[in-house]
């Protein structure tokens, strides 16, 4: 991969949205949860609510997610809920049919291409980071300022090098930790 602008090479969804890691997180979260609301996604991932809300808006515009109708929700539908049934006090979202098909199509080859398009050796860095405690435990060839900046930019690590909750959940939901 060239050292130039990688945005042209970055995988996109079938609707043309340039997928950022936060988009992938929301899609993977909804696949795992069934249905959920923005505030809970923000709370679990420790990302700002405004970022999650913007991401939901992007994904709704492309048709990958949709609002869930109804006034109550059962635990069988909202797998992260503890109560058997709850009344909705928030706007809940779920994957659309298109979103479900897209998330199902994400495999290791797609993930490798995706992360390599984010930054140099992206897939290798992500795999190593899932096994390391933080940036400083990555192999020496993967510890440079450019990679550190990219990992901080995408909220995979904190400025001091620790893995973020967001990264841990993203890796878990995409099944990267089990590879």
**pLDDT at residue number 175:** 93
Task: Give the whole-angstrom CA distance, residue 73 versus residue 54.
Answer: 24
Q: What is the pLDDT of residues 39-48, one digit of tens each?
A: 999 999 999 9
Contact 142, 125 (CB under 8 A): yes
pLDDT tens for 80-92 read 554 445 555 678 8
Report whether pLDDT(2) > 50. no
Would you say 175 and 108 are in contact if contact means Cβ atoms under 8 Å apart?
no
Query: What is the pLDDT of the chain when averaged over all its residues?
Result: 84
Which whole number is the average pLDDT over 22-49?
A: 93
Under the banding of pLDDT at 50, 70 and 90, the label for residue 1 is: very low
Residue 18 has pLDDT above 80, yes or no: yes
Any idea what the Cα angle at residue 96 is, between residues 94 and 99, rounded to 5°? 105
> Above 60 in pLDDT, residue 127?
yes
Per-residue pLDDT at 64 exceeds 80: yes
Check whether 117 has a pLDDT greater than 70.
yes
DSSP conformation class of 120:
T
Answer whether residue 5 shows pLDDT above 50: no
């Amino acid at each position: 991969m060239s050292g130039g602008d990688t945005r042209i090479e970055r995988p996109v969804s079938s609707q043309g949205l340039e997928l950022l890691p936060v988009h992938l997180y929301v899609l993977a979260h909804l696949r795992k949860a069934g249905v959920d609301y923005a505030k809970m996604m923000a709370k679990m991932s420790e990302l700002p609510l405004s970022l999650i809300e913007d991401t939901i808006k992007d994904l709704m515009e492309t048709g990958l997610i949709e609002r869930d109708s109804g006034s109550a929700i059962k635990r069988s539908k909202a797998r992260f809920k503890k109560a058997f049934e709850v009344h909705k006090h928030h706007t809940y979202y779920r994957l659309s049919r298109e979103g479900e098909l897209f998330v199902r199509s994400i495999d290791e080859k797609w993930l490798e291409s995706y992360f390599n398009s984010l930054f140099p050796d992206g897939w290798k860095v992500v795999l190593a980071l899932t096994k390391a405690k933080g940036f400083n435990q990555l192999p020496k060839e993967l510890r440079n300022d450019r990679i550190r900046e990219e990992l901080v930019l995408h909220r995979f690590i904190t400025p001091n090098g620790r893995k973020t909750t967001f990264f841990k959940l993203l890796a878990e939901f995409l099944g990267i930790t089990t590879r």
